[in-house]
Structure 1
Amino acid sequence: MTTSSTPTLDEVRGISIRQPYAACILAGAKTIENRPARWRTGWVLLHTSKTINRPALRDPLVARTVRDRELVTGAVVGVARIIDCHQDPQDAPPCSPWAQPGAWHLVLANVQELPLPVHAHGQVVPWRPTEDLLDQVLQQLPHLRP
């Protein structure tokens, strides 16, 4: 990251992720997000959907990652940069323990958790944050530069 300019609305998208997977990303353990379609690289606001995937909490990989973490829902909880989007070749081992076969894998880097969640509405598909929402996020991460 440089210190030249803040991300603009044209450069940032939002991605909604169910808990507890968003907490796993914020913890730094889950660096792959699975999606049914290809996404472009760039900055994303990490938004938690309103529901929690309760069965996922029984997965040992998830359970040990989210232990003692609050599972905030319906809010932007952090930012990340998608640095790659790929599918694993057929019959190849998964690129990560978090990778689902056949899915597009968004490779996340520069993950930064917000000190205070910003409640907002999200969508499953890439969505554009409002200028006000982006301002609220950047106020909490003044060092963030693309």
Structure 2
Amino acid sequence: MSAAELEGGDWIRGITIRQPWATCILAGKSTENRPKPWSWRGWVLLHAGMAKPEPAVLRDPLVARTIRGRELHRGAVIGVARLTDCHQDPHGSPLCTEWAQTDAWHLVLTDVQELALPVPVGGQLGPWKPAPDLLSQVLQQLPDLRP
């Protein structure tokens, strides 16, 4: 695949995630909870949203231990991950991970890679297609990232 095809962005999408959840994904949180299912599978840019984290969420023991010592960047792409599945746990059954929420759709994220330098950019709801210049900046930091 040529550099121009890679920067075309048809093989990757962005996902905006509020803090501290975006940083938790970089530190090992493997599911992202969403109200609706997603059909997209493949690489996603992990975009930390602009909203300031709620103090009560930051005090949650699972969150606090996961983000300890990490900066909570906002309004920037902070990493990439491969979205491999989207499911709901059957009602009344155990949740798939300690991060999963009841009655939510769980986006399963693997192959998470953190960017050394967050790339500032605005985000959107739902999966969004990254602009070529944004993707180029990410590929400078992760030159082996491929579809």
Structure 1-normalised TM-score? 0.92
CA distance in 1, matches of 2:124, 2:140: 23
- Aligned residue number for residue 46 of structure 2: 46
Which residue of structure 1 lines up, in the alignment, with residue 20 of structure 2? 20
Give me the TM-score of the superposition, normalised by structure 2: 0.91
Q: Distance in 1 between matches of 2:24 and 2:113?
A: 12
Q: What is the match of residue 32 of structure 2?
A: 33
Q: How far apart in 2 are the matches of 1:27 and 1:108?
A: 12
Distance 1:79 1:7, change over 3 A: farther
Give me the CA root mean square deviation: 1.3
Higher strand share: 1
1:128 aligns with 2:135: no
Matched, 1:87 2:88: yes
Residue type of the alignment partner of 1:89: P
Measured after TM superposition, the shift of residue 52 of structure 1 is 2.6
Q: Distance in 2 between matches of 1:69 and 1:135?
A: 25
Unpaired stretches in structure 2, ≥5 consecutive residues: none
What percentage of aligned pairs have identical amino acids? Answer: 62
Residue 123 of structure 1 aligns with an amino acid whose one-letter code is Q
Runs of 4+ aligned structure 1 residues displaced above 6 Å come to: none
